[in-house]
Chains A and B, each alone.
Chain A
Amino acid sequence: MEEKGNKEEILVLKNLSKSFGGINAVEQFNLTMEQGELHCLIGPNGAGKTTVFKMIMGILAPSSGKILLNGEDITKKQPKDRARGGISIKMQVPGLFPDLSLKENIRVAAQNFVPKKELNTEIARLIELVHLQDVSVTNPLVKNMTHGQQQWLEIAMALAAHPKLLLLDEPAAGLGPEETEFTAELIEQLNHDGLAVLFIEHDMNFVKRIAKNVTVLHYGKKFAEGTMEEIEKNEDVIKIYLGK
């Protein structure tokens, strides 16, 4: 169990638990992600998925357990250090800066990670990556952008940190079919380029479309784990979740 320092594993969660005033939101949760893996976390509402994300990012401190990033224990680190250490997140509730413009949002996200001279090029690159070039011509305030545009902007901002591990909390929520398809392609592309992605999603078609490995959370505990095919055939999972 003491195999610390395994560089092959980008993320390891060991016996991670979190309780809120006696309620166990997450209990003894274990997860291992390889470099470049595309992994999905599913589970019914209130299963503790977002809580797991918040612990990985350092927004919530775990009640017990450990978090390793590239073999290094980051359990006690602050969010800012985790961000600089290579974890990026797109949160479920839009985490944008509503009164700043599109480009300004990306600038705030990017300026810690590129030299000032390259900032404008980097902003342009990120805008292109999520196909927001057309919108960026008028450079609107973010609060005036559509929901889909905001979702992609958030992904672009999460990528601005040049992460090794990208956390996406419901990247397809509230998107139309075409928008969803574009999001799926984007995530696949990023993963293809070597980025490890861990995401939470409710839209099962979306999950089936892109996920290779799936972990199912139920009442804060790991309920099942495996490839997409295995999970789809797992009767217990169907009972609690897929079948509903």
Chain B
Amino acid sequence: MKKITWNTENIMAVLFFAAAFIFPMIFGDYTIDNFANFYVTILISLSITLIWGFTGVFSFGQAVFYGLGAYTYAIISIASDGSLTIPAVLAAVAVAALAAAVLGYFIFYGRISNAFTGIITMSVATVMELFMTQTSDGKWKIFGVPLGGFNGLNKIPAISIADFKFRGTAFYLLVILILLAVFFFVKWIEKSNFGYALFGIRENKLRSEMFGYDVAKLQTVIFSISGALAGLAGALFASWSGYVVPSNFSVATSTIAVVMVAVAGRKNITGTMIMTWIYCWFTQKLAATGSEYSQLILGVILIIAVLFIPDGVMVALFKKLDTLPGKLSQRRGG
């Protein structure tokens, strides 16, 4: 079971990370700084794969937990004047995980139908955004940091260890290392009993219960893990951009990730990572000409993908390459 099979997917995963480490040698600082945010978006995609692809729960909670992570990091790092940035990241993850556990508790132990999980989480995201928007008067403060209403928080210190600030390429490499760790974590889940329990729940909740699974508990746990991941992405975003605004809570922040997961293949994390990267790159190229169309295009792609390629484009592609006779997979076969 421990042996790695060299199928297309795993080869692509290796290439993906190899490329990520090579990019800083090819591209300039500005491009690399931009790329860093692509990989943060990929983290959101992976958190959606966990909850939607693995467990079959469609949720907009990622927006909530991403926003909470971003604000938590911003508040603590500002309040500590940049001296507690690592604890701020950890706190961001913890707050997001806790919020997800609480919301998940109500949703999953309440045995709410799948149909409503999407709307509950979307409502929570909308209300959070509204709430943050109306915090502009001075009385809304946490640790002495005013929440800033519509303008949000800015001048957020970057993540730092002692005097070393993670900016530019250093930040980029930090994100890649985190992503690599998350990738192995998700891969581990995919192979573990926990992962198979989630697959069972995705395929047939009631039946899973009759094999002795505590469905509500498992769902709450994975929702919380996925929330923590989104919170981590939020904290990294706050450190990268130096600002957070209420619209970080808006569902639109996770739109790209949701669509990419749907298009690449809900259960396939390598495909999802590559697809998200490609999309981020494309929108950046297109940004100058017509970014207002990007949401429109995303919507259309989403519908087409769900209707006609429910298994995902990347998954189909990987399968094609796997079966190419006498090609890659067999030569390297191990």
Contacts and interface: CB of A to CB of B under 8 A. Distances in A.
A–B direct touch, CB within 8 Å, in complex? yes
Interface of A: 57, 59, 78-84, 88-89, 91, 95-100, 104, 107-109, 111-113, 116, 120, 157, 160-161
B229 interface: no
B206 interface: yes
13 contacts: A59-B206, A59-B210, A78-B209, A80-B212, A80-B213, A83-B210, A84-B212, A95-B204, A100-B200, A113-B212, A116-B193, A157-B211, A161-B211
B211 A83 contact: yes
B211 A109 contact: yes
Contacts of A98: 203
Contacts of A161: 211-212
A79 B204 CA distance: 14
Contact of A97 (B193, B199, B209, B212): B199
B196 interface: yes
Given A95-B204, A99-B203, A104-B199, A89 B210 contact: yes
| Residue from A79, A83, A104 with most neighbouring chain B CB atoms (10 Å) | A79
Given A83-B212, A112-B212, A113-B212, A95 B207 contact: yes
A83 B212 CA distance: 5
Contacts of A120: 1
B210 A97 contact: no
A116 B204 CA distance: 23
A79 B211 CA distance: 8
A113 B209 CA distance: 14
Contacts of B209: 78-80, 83
A147 to B, nearest CB: 17
- Interface-central residue, B207, B214, B215, by most chain A CB under 10 Å: B207
Interface residues of B, number: 19
Contacts of B50: none
B211 A160 contact: yes
Contacts of A91: 207
Nearest to A95: B207
B56 to A, nearest CB: 10
A71 B101 CA distance: 38
Given A95-B204, A111-B193, A100 B199 contact: yes
A191 B326 CA distance: 50
Interface in B189-222: 193, 196-197, 199-200, 202-204, 206-215
A109 B202 CA distance: 14
Nearest to A85: B212
Contacts of A99: 202-203
Contacts of B199: 97, 100, 104, 108
A89 B212 CA distance: 12
Nearest to B56: A99
Contact of B207 (A81, A97, A160): A97
Interface string B182-194: 0000000000010
Contact of B204 (A96, A107, A112): A96
A107 B198 CA distance: 12
Given A80-B213, A83-B212, A84-B212, A100 B203 contact: yes
